[in-house]
Copies of this chain bind each other. A is one copy, B any other.
Amino acid sequence: MKKPLILVTNDDSIVAPGIRFLISVMKEIGDVIVVAPDSPQSAMGHAITINNTLHIDKVNLDKDIEHEYSCSGTPVDCVKMAVHEILKRKPDLCVSGINHGSNSSINVIYSGTMSAAVEAGIEGIPAIGFSHLDYGWGTDFEPTKEYIKKITLEVLEHGLPEGVVLNVNFPKTEEEPIKGIQVCRQAKAAWVEKFDKRTNPQGKEYYWLTGEFVNLDKGEDTDEWALKNGYVSVVPVQFDLTAYHAIQTLNSWNLK
């Protein structure tokens, strides 16, 4: 059987331990090409670079991989660049991550990792974003390996429904081993922001965005519940954002 062609990207930059681990796992499954940001691009959402130039550099961080590139753009730029400029054929799969930090619940919207996966989905490529709740660069990713392989092989075998990509998050594992996998919905949650206001040496005020994550969802079918209870969460994510249930409501308004 021909080996699948797997595009690997992330948002923490091409040198982050998370992507290096993901590359090592993907090498056991297929032929790997890496196109990832040359600097951290966390929280870039679905940003693309239209008012600036883009640069790519061929790098060789892994001697087994012939095609490895660092890119000056966002995670979404990396996917576009890989598919439309670097690769001769469409990859069979795109994996993004492992992100250093959670992309569960509402975080999916801010996430560069997940936006890369969504972009691949828009391009018709089966795609999975992987993230780990433990954001440290010293995180032990070894316990995630069997789950990454299992999910990836299932996606390669079955494909994904049209217009759907997967958002996979791993729980913290210092205290107990991973219990298994749960297919979930996105929990309802929000960030309650606090701005840390400071004064620069010239006397001008500036701010750092900080905030507290608040889970507003008591459901036991959510990603937040699964992660809190030691499971890997798998949320199918769509990029048709239409709120179909609201169309009838809006049609009852006086808009004509």
Q: Is the CB of A207 within 8 A of B81?
A: yes
Shortest Cβ distance from residue A99 to the other chain B in the assembled complex, whole angstroms: 13
Please name the residue on chain B nearest to A238 by beta carbon.
Answer: B243
Within 174-189 of A, Cβ neighbours of B (below 8 Å) are at 180-181, 183, 185-186, 188
Q: Is A250 an interface residue (CB 8 A)?
A: yes
Residues of B within 8 A of A118 (CB): 109
Within 156-172 of A, Cβ neighbours of B (below 8 Å) are at 158, 160-161, 163-164, 166-167
- Cα(A249)–Cα(B110), bound, Å: 26
The proximity string for A residues 198-211 relative to B, scoring 1 for CB distances below 8 Å and 0 otherwise, is 10000011111100
| Contact flag A85-B207 (CB < 8 Å), given A241-B237, A242-B236, A250-B236 | yes
**Quick check: which of A24-32, A46-54, A59-67, A89-97 contacts chain B, the rest being far away?**
A46-54
Of B46, B194, B198, B249, which one neighbours A109 at CB under 8 angstroms? Answer: B46
Q: Is the CB of B255 within 8 A of A181?
A: yes
Residues of B within 8 A of A190 (CB): 122-123
Oligomer: number of copies: 2
Interface of A is mostly: mixed
- Cα(A237)–Cα(B160), bound, Å: 23
Q: Is the CB of A45 within 8 A of B42?
A: no
Within 125-149 of A, Cβ neighbours of B (below 8 Å) are at none
Chain A residues in contact with chain B, CB under 8 A?
Answer: 40, 42-51, 53-56, 73, 76-77, 80-81, 83-85, 106, 108-110, 115, 118, 122-123, 150-151, 154, 158, 160-161, 163-164, 166-167, 180-181, 183, 185-186, 188, 190, 192-195, 197-198, 204-209, 234-247, 249-251, 253-256
